[in-house]
Amino acid sequence: MSETTNLNHEEEQVFDPLDMNNYKVEKLPKMEKSGFEKWMARLGGPLAILVFVLIYWIADIGFLDNITAEGLTGAKAIKRLNELGLVDFIRSNYAMLAIFAAAIVLWVTEAIPNYLTSLLLICGTVLTGVLPQKEAFAQLGHPVMWLNILSFVLASMLVKTRVAKRFALWFVLRFGKNASGIFFSFIVINLVLSMFISATTVKATILLPIFMVVAAIYGASNGERNNFGRNLVLQNLFQVNIGASGFMTGSGANLLAVSIIAGAVGGFEISYSNWLSAALPLAIILLLLGWIVGAKLIFPMKKEEQVPQIDGGMERLRKELHAMGKVSFDEIKAVLIFVGVLVLWVTKKWHGIDETTVAFIGAIVALMPKIGIVKWNDVDIPWHLMLFSAGAYVLGSGLNATDLHVTIVDTVFDGFGITQNTPYWVLYLVLTGLMLLSALVFSSKNMRTMIFVPIAIATAQKFGYPIMSLAFPVALLIEHVYVLPFNSKPAALLYTTNHYSWSDTFKFGITMMFIAWVLILLWGETVLKWLGFTPGLF
């Protein structure tokens, strides 16, 4: 036997499938870019520059050279339009279109980091005159940005005190007596964590060691795949995302959608309870259907896969929970602070304090010396995501300032012969379908949000429907990013567990995406109609 073989054999002997430390994120293999993705990254920069130049200079100049106004042509037409103050407006539209197109190219190809694209975008809107400097730079201080930041403060409080881990371990041990109980336990755990944690990647990171150990107990570990493991990991990926869709603060993209819609409606705000009443029941139904589709239809489990394969496996989880010791006073304070925040969010219509101010109060208490739980250095705020979000808000402001999204919708609909007589249900069907299918192409929820929510708003305005009737159903589909490994950060993270293949995640994901489309159509005719968001489809 060779020395290499001996070393490999020793490593296999040392590996303990029930040791949670083996499943820390830093120990998982990193996903390498494919050859196609590397080529996209190389071509992204030059392509973005070319797109910007073609739209901003060449198309703009060509349009103004051939424009007519009041029977005039050429320079006279431009002079007359200048007198009317329209030339700058037209140039702003072309500048916004150039920035928008170039940003999309950079985001899709990942030629440079997403946050750097956002910084270029913000700078571009100022230099081209699309937005005044004060408005463009002020987006970093948008109330929703603050809600994002403060949500991470509150989430860090839960992570530091290990409340989330304790709850997950306790729930699995208490209710996970068999395979079905384990799957339902993780549904509840993901829903509860979604109320507290606004980052889906953080939830996936917290739960990953727990469900990996559970998978090992049921015979799926160290490269050995079975349908229990496939179901458990894919269900958690689905639950992490769909659980977030049930709450307005479930992710930053949800908050971004709320901000865009509020800006378009003019003072109207979607409250925490508005979103909750419309989205949470839909999320719960989808999670239950996901369990049925995965565990009963696509990856049915054999009888031997539904019973523990390692004797005393659950005892290891019990020891892990026992090692955490008794519930500390800080853990109790963390729960009380967050429950207090949630209660104030849900009861906004009675006390009138907005969600951001409530989050401020919670964060101040959590950070308060002697009273609170965390120090500023304990807070994990992903500032690169904050900068990316700021760019998204600037893009939304630029679209609103130029009405570019309305122009694009008008042009596309006119080109396809879609007239004012088009029934509402057709628009609803097309927009929700595009939003879902876009998740197969775009790897950023924020990007999909800032593209398709403004399109839904413009479509509603064009056809004379309430903005919420189309924009809100589209916003409810933001979190459907689970079909392929590159569709979201949790998808990329959980794919590295080696419990399923690309074809596995595609079969389950595309099936659930189609079911979600059918459900959102039913929702538009029933729940959203009853709540006053839509006029009903038929």
Q: In this prediction, what percent of the chain has a pLDDT beyond 70?
A: 85
Average pLDDT value for the chain: 82
Distances from the Cα of 86 to the Cαs of 57, 64, 92, in angstroms? 17, 11, 10
Amino acid at 263: G
Out of 44-53, 174-183, 372-381, 383-392, least confident range: 383-392
69 strand-pairing partners: 72
Out of 138-152, 161-175, 510-524, least confident range: 138-152
Q: For 72, phi and psi rounded to 5 degrees?
A: -90, 160
Distances from the Cα of 345 to the Cαs of 191, 192, 241, 338, in angstroms? 17, 15, 21, 10
**Residue 411 and residue 395: Cα distance in Å, rounded?**
20
pLDDT digits (tens, 9 = 90+) for 47-60: 999 999 988 887 65
The burial of 85, by beta-carbon neighbours within 10 Å (0-12 exposed, 13-18 middle, 19 or more buried), is given as: exposed
**Residue 366 and residue 156: Cα distance in Å, rounded?**
10
Distances from the Cα of 314 to the Cαs of 14, 158, 178, 211, 320, in angstroms? 20, 24, 11, 12, 10
Name residues whose C-beta falls within 8 Å of residue 493's C-beta, 6 or more positions apart in sequence. 25, 28, 201, 204, 205, 208
Q: In this prediction, what percent of the chain has a pLDDT beyond 90?
A: 28
Q: For 64, phi and psi rounded to 5 degrees?
A: -70, -30
Q: Between 163 and 282, where is the model more confident? A: 282
H helix or E strand, kind and range, residue 72:
strand 72-73
Q: What is the pLDDT of residue 80?
A: 44
**Residue 192 and residue 203: Cα distance in Å, rounded?**
10
**Residue 398 and residue 95: Cα distance in Å, rounded?**
10
pLDDT digits (tens, 9 = 90+) for 416-465: 677 677 889 999 999 999 999 988 877 678 778 878 888 898 898 888 89
H helix or E strand, kind and range, residue 95:
helix 87-109
Q: What is the pLDDT of residue 14?
A: 58
With a cut of 60, say whether residue 13 has pLDDT above it. Answer: no
Q: Between 390 and 180, where is the model more confident? A: 180
Q: At 224, is the secondary structure helix, strand, or coil? A: coil
The top-scoring range by mean pLDDT among 95-109, 219-233, 403-417, 509-523 is 509-523
Out of 30-34, 213-217, 225-229, 482-486, least confident range: 30-34
pTM above 0.75, yes or no: yes
Local structure of residue 298 (DSSP, 8 states): I
Domain locations along the chain: 30-112, 145-378
pLDDT digits (tens, 9 = 90+) for 250-280: 888 888 888 788 766 655 567 888 899 999 9
Q: What is the pLDDT of residue 298?
A: 94
72 strand-pairing partners: 69
The burial of 136, by beta-carbon neighbours within 10 Å (0-12 exposed, 13-18 middle, 19 or more buried), is given as: buried
